[in-house]
Amino acid sequence: MGGPDVQEVPSSPAGSAPSLAVTPPTSQGQTTSQLPKWWARPKDRLAQFIKYCRTYDLFGQLSKVEDGRERPQIPTADVVLGLFFTAVLRLPSLNALEGELKKAGFQRLLGLPVQLNEKAFSADTVARVLDSLNLDQLREILHDVVHRAERNKAFRDGPTGAQRPVALDGWQPFGSYHRHCKDCLQRKVKFKNPDREVIQYYHTFVVPLLLAGDAELVLDVEPLRTADLRRQDGETADTHDGEQTAAMRLVDRLQAEFGSLIDLTVLDALYPNGPMMTRVTERGYGAIMTLKKETDEPLKDALLLMAGRPPDLVWDDAIKKEHIVAWDVDDIETLDTFQGKVRVLRAEISSLSKPMQPTRTWCTGVIGELARHLHPRIVHDLHRRRWHIENTAFNQWTQHWHLGHVYRHSPNAVIAVMLLWCLAFNMMQLFTYRRLRRPRVPKDPCDTIKDLVTLMKDAVAALKAPMPWRLLRDT
Q: Give the C-alpha separation, 247 to 172, whole Å.
A: 14
Residue 3 gets which letter from DSSP? Answer: -
Per-residue CA distances from 409 to 130, 176, 203 (Å): 10, 11, 10
70 contact partners, CB below 8 Å, separation of at least 6:
none
pLDDT band at 156 (very low <50, low <70, confident <90, very high): confident
Per-residue pLDDT tens digits for 314-352: 999 998 899 999 999 999 998 889 999 999 999 999 999
Q: Is the pLDDT of residue 274 over 70?
A: yes
Strand partners, 170: 206
- How far is it, in rounded angstroms, from Cα 374 to Cα 382? 10
Buried-exposed string 151-163: b where 16+ CB fall within 10 A, e elsewhere = eeebbeebebeeb
What percentage of the chain carries pLDDT values higher than 90?
Answer: 76
Give the model's pLDDT for residue 445. 65
Lowest-pLDDT range of 154-158, 303-307, 327-331, 362-366: 154-158
Q: How much of the chain is in helix, strand and coil states, percent to nearest 5?
A: 40, 20, 40
DSSP string over 421-439: HHHHHHHHHHIIIIIS---
Name the pLDDT band for 28 (thresholds 50, 70, 90). Answer: very low
Domain ranges of the chain: 1-30, 264-369
Contact assessment for residue 39 and residue 463, using Cβ atoms and an 8 Å cutoff? no
Give the rounded distance of the alpha carbon of 73 from its chain centre.
31
Q: Look at residue 227 and give its three-state secondary structure.
A: helix
> Phi and psi dihedrals of 326, rounded to 5?
-130, 145
Residue 256 burial (C-beta neighbours within 10 Å; 0-12, 13-18, 19+): exposed
In this predicted structure, the answer to whether residue 249 has a pLDDT above a threshold of 50 is yes
Distance CA 279, CA 251 (A): 8
pLDDT one-digit tens code per residue, 64-120 = 999 999 999 999 999 999 999 999 999 999 999 999 999 999 999 999 999 988 999
pLDDT at 21: 35
pLDDT above 80 for 27? no
Predicted TM-score (pTM) of the model is 0.90
